[in-house]
Structure 1
């Protein structure tokens, strides 16, 4: 390669490098001409914690699910007997002071009943009708007497009893305060253990809350026979209202 050719080659390389540098500088500047500074974004360290608050409270209402079961040779007869029996039960509920809006039918069934013998085809014995209702009792003092009244009127099935709160707001709010205090204390403890100042809370999420008890077999306590029949004793106990919270706290640098 001659000296002239070598000089031309070197000059072309310098021009190319200058063009690339100019292009890079132009790309780093916005239209207005001000320099554009790019900085790496580092996420602030944080704590993601959870806690809960629980409140024990006495129930102020109860629900009882009971039914009338009848059997007869024909379906029509089984339903007729059931209707007559349930009509007496509804009248007993009204006499016990239960409002109609607090009584709801929860099941109505009619099934054929068969007798089974070995090596023999099933033999129709008759039909069984079942009518179930769920009753809300707003006065716990009437739970036992109401159960006695409906049994005397024809109820032959008691499926379960549940206790609840007419208005759970006060219990839920108390549980919320306990949950947040527990969350704050836990965040402060972690920050102290990490030797980092605790910053502000970034987010707070709530879960849990009050949910009515499902009906369960009634808790009944037998008493010795007395001269006069007393009402069936029922123990209401306590309910637990729980609130769960999750919070994200920043750690100050």
Structure 2
């Protein structure tokens, strides 16, 4: 689902230009066209992992690896494609603990090793995200972080708002030409500086909440929407 931001019109609105001027000396009209749209994300990405301890490096790493296999297996069971499952990090480091020395001072002492394994899962069926996190916790995961939402084809959204911004610029120029009693000519130049996408913290059509079996609580996840905007600096000739 895709919709343009609006104030008075519920479906479509092109932001009125901040700069519009007719220059009789140069015979040109310059305007700033702007447009924005909010698009529902089409995938969710989450990093799920495990951190375990062991007396030896091998013991710690083996425990983390076993739990990571459970995370991957849970994702596969839910129909996540292999291309959307990948290891994001593996860590192993010595662990220490604070102890009191015989002389009464505090010091550090070796206390085995800590290993970590994190898996990044990208899920197209966002309604299953909460259930995925619950299942992976039951399979041994104890870390969830980095939940994000995105578009598989962000270029399409960027192109749409860029075209809308150009149309906005032309509409403004036509209004200015009509108001000043001149005829709008051809485009002299158009500059379109890049504008970054920015997720907006607003709810999408529904909370992405999976049904939970008895005795379990589903993890509610709200996707929100992704806003894409564009701006063009357009110069039109005045036709004599």
TM over 0.5: yes
> Which of 120, 132, 135 in structure 2 is aligned with 1:134?
120
Q: Secondary structure at the match of 2:141?
A: coil
Q: What does residue 39 of structure 1 align with?
A: none
Rg larger for: 1
Query: Is structure 2 residue 46 aligned with structure 1 residue 64?
Result: yes
The answer (yes or no) to whether the contact 2:47–2:120 under 8 Å persists in 1 is yes
Taking a change above 3 Å as real, the CA distance of residues 45 and 110 of structure 1, as seen in their structure-2 partners, is farther
Residues 78 and 194 of structure 1, relative CA distance in 2, 3 Å threshold: farther
Q: Distance in 1 between matches of 2:125 and 2:46?
A: 13
Contact map agreement 1:102 1:136 (CA 8 A) in 2: yes
**Distance in 1 between residues matched to 2:108 and 2:217, nearest whole Å:** 45
Separation of aligned partners in 1, 2:108 and 2:233: 60
Q: State the TM-score, normalizing by the size of structure 1.
A: 0.67
Q: Matches of residues 87-106 of structure 1 in structure 2 within 5 Å?
A: 87-106=69-88
Q: How many residues align?
A: 203
Determine if the alignment matches structure 1 residue 245 to structure 2 residue 227.
Answer: no
CA gap 1:61/1:146 in 2 versus in 1, 3 angstroms: same
Q: Tell me the C-alpha RMSD between the 2 structures.
A: 3.2
Q: Name whichever structure is richer in helix by fraction.
A: 1
Partner secondary structure for residue 219 of structure 2: coil
Q: Please say which of residues 136-145 and 171-180 is displaced more in the overlay.
A: 171-180
Q: CA deviation at 1:152?
A: 0.9
Residue 134 of structure 2 corresponds to which residue in structure 1?
A: 148
- 2:37 & 2:138 partners in 1: Cα distance? 38
In the alignment, structure 1 segments of 5+ residues that lack a partner are 1-42, 214-219
